Structure 1
């Protein structure tokens, strides 16, 4: 139990498993399994979060290390991620299979309530949002929003997430959703002590419950 407590403390501090080889008497495989379990607990909480209503910002980005060859949405090795943030509130971020209207609308319908006020960029995939609620499209010039409207909340989260995940280069694709869920959980509880929250999750969650969450098919 003392070993798990120590590993939990290191996880909360954001110390990757590979940096603990001289600090722990556990094997690398054991540390990775424990960290994966913690991330799966975070993922389960995030999956059960209620759909957003009110003012919601939407955006998409890619995660993955720099590679030679094609850049942008079709770059090899990149994971496309769709994000939603409630203004001055919580965030959701999910890997999507393609950068297209079908993929983003599926997540919007699942994670927001009809009648919401949507803030997006000018991507045409968002054009039908006016059928679901109010829609404010942010126009940009030289990367900056024109006027007072913005999507600074979700763009700020992308910066937060990428900075947090930077030490974890080479995350296996089938586990990326767990790392992403961990970042969402940390962001959504950024003003709280994570150690008691995660300890409670570990005690009340069974491995059987987490089975479908642990691995996502590539």
Structure 2
């Protein structure tokens, strides 16, 4: 199976349809599949359900899909860096399924492992628990959370080989490995594709069995929150 594609547009070919569910890796702007997001925007696809920790920032990352009103629903954990997200949600233009961050990560991991649901104490007694099945185990209250899957997962890795084996770099690993397991088709954009056999098998983070399409992207790597201090005088 040929997995290497020339670019994001080619990697998305034949997979995109209105109303689809997309998982998008990254945390803030770290490890986001920015090339795949831009290519998704260019297709004109709409009514997306997007599963991602957050929705980028205004004008970058998933924020470009939000600005174009291509996203119908977000399943996410954190929305604080995007004013357009806030505006659309408060104006009832955007559906939001809000998750505690650990619950979101576990829902994705469960979906990738074929686990339809699990019980957690997180959110018990809060708005998160409303409408969810609850059970008591060993005297403690738990709520049922469901696993998550997607039509397509778009993720960012550091290096790949032609079989789709992936290595992530430091904190860019974040949600990407678990999302790779939970998509019907997973597209990985990487900084470099190395020769088959270059990886020590013990160093591979995501085996190629979970990855169907790979391409080399170009990355802006923006800093989400730039914090500076004045230079001290001599």
Under TM normalisation by the shorter chain, which class is it? 0.3 to 0.5
Q: Which has the higher helix share?
A: 1
State the TM-score, normalizing by the size of structure 1: 0.34
Higher strand proportion, which one? 2
Report the TM-score when normalising by structure 2.
Answer: 0.32
